[in-house]
Structure 1
């Protein structure tokens, strides 16, 4: 090729979009030997990391997965190289909260499942790296996990996540292993002996040495908190030994400092916003299932209040997630009403109810919040046996609502909502019994 033609070709490549480059590189894979394939896939993975969400959506398609499956079938790509590409695509799917489930489950999960079982049963000459990659891909896109698969995948990935190497490559591998574990459905049966010592060691080691990435640490907690659903005996480890509320609050506070809250969401770092949203999800799950209280919970509620105020103008989705967390908190009988008062959560709801731009759904959620507080302050419903203390709490809440006409505003808001949603039996039935007891 002449020098002029080479320059023209190089210029054309530079002008190609990232999605076009990805497609072209993918089409070249089947013409490469295994070593060249691996190098090209590593370059494709780097290209994916540079894409914005719209670009990534355009390349992460069912067609791509069909093509990879077809190349595997025709032996035009090695299984090691196939999963190297697949796990990165699926990793990004999960990270961006895009569904990786269902649309290709019939293509690859059965194939991968059989390979995992076959590789996992080997006593000698087991390809540990391939097994880890297969397990990660399998967990990233599988809805229901067979018990046999859990018994292989969980120990395999926890072993990978226990690595204490400090290189970026090692940290990335740990991150992917923990993220894939966090995708295991909370309904999946799992004996504590299979995971508890390992995941506890991973979390404790990070607390002492800061060895994990932000995403890896959050994923480790998500995996553990999801086990809460079927095993409340974990509460002492989660609350008092590993200090979930303290750690979640600290992580959220650190992430909040990384964002210019006055700017638009799209102008800020994508990853920090994603991490904040993932942490709020885990906090909501914790509030829903935890039946243990300590003083660190009040600090976590205060952190969510700060986050809500920061996100109020430009970060609608974060704001909505905070509201959902507060709803779970007020329903949790072990979280004290006094914590909601001291943290500023009650003030926050009162402020929101006076916003002229408050939509109907948020109006409804605000009223539900106060009805739940009222219900819990009724004798024998709050778990607070000290009658004098309960009476003092009622007085504090009433004074908050009375300030600047909030009480009248809430009553008017209730009537407006009832006229719009006459079918809401909870509001209609509980309003007279709960609200006026304040």
Structure 2
């Protein structure tokens, strides 16, 4: 018996020694911290989301259907309430564990990284509460814009702003007087563009998840592990939400939307990752991929928001009046289901990313942007033709049925 206890103790000691030896190298510790943060965020989201559904049912907190919306049943839109708490809890715990295993933040980056993260979390939390209020009782769009400009200004306060355009339209370095307001306006625009994509099941959530997953891998490759950890924390909290958002059944009270508390914060965080990645390389050693990847990931929502606003302006409609002219509405109008529309648009997003990453080695950045715009116009035109065709078929069917 004593021999068995001794063998067990030796085995345990040997196993712990092996684990500690495995995590001696920094990149192994980084892998561990990223995995830990991802799992914690995933578990927190899995635990809280069902409770949110119960609260929504008890208090009658539903998003009622109307002529503009794509759903026909009462569905809670409070799924986004889990995102920021999941990220804050998992990231804070993971950073603490990193210090426990003698793997603190990179001293070369701790000043700027810590400042950026603190401002980012402050801005995200503020926008989270604005979105939560809008989901519960509504907030006028003017107040939401004021809040968005306020949190967008936190990026330049941390020293993060777009100071180089990589030769787009012949522009390279930007002076701070132009770069700072341009960055603030761009953050607000991206935040709202992502928010506007939250119109059908899975589109905003899965689109954001793809972006965060790609950024997580790219930041890990660059050795910016704290940003990679944050990216995977967001992936972790989005995965359970997508299950309820895509596969949930309204009649069983298992379906939910993310609401503005989720879509606004996702857009805000995506704008941070995009700007940060664009500014990863030093001026003078610019890598066009650092511009192309963020541009490609955000092109679909950004272009669609611009197209819709141009159409509204051309038709003398209010720019901020909601309608059913977005690309996901067009997909539904062709007869596609929510899941098919989401699959089509996410496939389009991935094609853009791979196509642009390959083409940027062979053509000018300005030409690449023009090609992307032309392809987007072509896709919208094809969808419009399918909509007309479907309407004509329905019209003929009605005439045949009525004998006219």
TM bin (shorter chain): under 0.3
Higher relative contact order (CA 8 A, sep 6+): 2
Q: Structure 2 length normalisation: TM-score? A: 0.27
TM-score by length of 1: 0.25
- Bigger-Rg structure (1/2): 1
